[in-house]
A and B are shown apart, each in its own frame.
Chain A
Amino acid sequence: MNATLRVLRYIAPKLAQFIFVVLATYTVVFLLITFLPGDPLLAALASKSGGDTIVDPEALERLRQQYGLAGTPWEQYWHRLGMLVHGDLGISIATGQPVATMIARTLPNSVEIALIALVIAIVIAVLFTFLAFLAPVRWLRNLLLQIPPFGVAIPAFLTGLLLISFFSFTLGWLPSSGSRQPGSAILPAVTLALPVGAILFQVFSAAVLEAQASQHVFTAVAKGVPPWRIFTAHLLRNALLPTITVLGLTIGYLAAGTAVVETVFSRDGIGRMTVNAVLARDINVIQGIVLMIAAVYATVNLVVDLAYGVIDPRTRRSGRRPARTAQPADEPKEVTA
């Protein structure tokens, strides 16, 4: 009974934070759209009909009602919030379909490549770190450590274009576009995986190298623990901590990356939908997508926090992640060399 209470006490603030982030995102986006100059409905209509806007005020009002843009900002805010609680994200101005349906239809495509990309990225990160860690030769390790800056600096569309040019046109192995063919997810996933993998590698390898030089690994070596066990029992979990913190960031990368990747590979997906929505100034769709992504991000962070609680016993009681070099308060002196 005590244990469940403690777990609940640990989770409760995190859940509250989750709900807060989603609500706050909704509010911030709403404020941004409301207070940035320009009337969203007129802009969207102008974009749809290529310049001929409907002047009739009654018709305009009806449209406002239809798209949930009627009334004062205050009224709009609560009205939309009420809809949100019911899972209704409004109607798309450009296509006339419910936003929620649009998202539900295109989301699986994006999730497919995002998940594959994440797996590839993790594999790259762990593999390269393992090589760098075990590399007895220093120049190999230095060489491997040069790769992440490269992976982070390369524009996603360049990777995509290079891959298409090489694998689709030169070699003819993989399809360059579309979402239905069997291999169509591979190139987009690899494109997405590159920057994510680079960051994960950077963080994970830095964490491993730092753990390797740490005091407690020295103690383990002095005990005569063999290298394999040092890696698994003394390095891995300790290095995982900063790495999973970065995981939340990578979701952001993946979400943003789909916009470019899906455009380059002409795939149906959330990213492409967002791009089209912006081109059409379709506010409702944009809001819906942003909310959804914020919800996903908050969920991932929640999972990460819970994982922290599982991996690091120091966080269990305090409910907060410890600073890098946590030292309790009862050490009176600095240690001289």
Chain B
Amino acid sequence: MSGKTVSLFIQCLVDTMFPETGEAMITVFDRLGIPYDYPKGQTCCGQPAFNSGYQQDAAAAAKHFIDLFEDAEVIVCPSGSCVHMVRHHYPDLFADDPAMHSRALAVGAKTYEFTQYLVDELGIVDVGSDFTGTVTYHDSCHLSRGLGIAEQPRTLLGNIQGLELIEMKDSDTCCGFGGTFSVNYPEISTAMADEKIDNILETNAEVVTGCDISCLMNILGRVSRREEGAQVLHIAQILAGAKRDQGEKI
């Protein structure tokens, strides 16, 4: 196993609304003996600004991130779209600034999504957790299409004792979040979320999980409004051994 110290890249929504996801990641790292630290001063990777076209503003957030994480040995984040932002869009933001461009490339090259880091970098396929219940998995767009991560989370889930993974229809179809899109075009966004939730419910799985908290927040928000029974958990919570219906009490 790599002795590299993981710098925890805690996505802004995890920090403010879903800290239990960050703590679950810590639980998994502790169990596996993976060293970690948490660079203080983290805010937002800049994705909302970038996706809305505000590239200069996104670049300011990117510079803040690069300053903060530049010395990290390896950077791991429980959110695929943020990793995609750092890896693929940061270098573009500094296309006209060779010094920043190369710093962005260097930081991007050592930034990994949580399950990707465990499986691809550390070769861990079994995190040794228990989780009793049926689970269905949502493929987030930037994770699956942007980073090509689809098998890693399934491998990890597949090796959890007591967990039965039930694939939903169109698992890689967008949930309708899309950042500011969700607020600017709520009728379209909600219709897309409904399609996703119908596919989730069709599996009869007790839990829906994924590797990107933004999508999960969208799904959770609509599930809650529709008063459906499905529980929404980040994959880190399942890997940490969250008990069903105790997602927030790990």
Real binding pair: no
Q: Contact residues of B with A, CB < 8 Å?
A: none
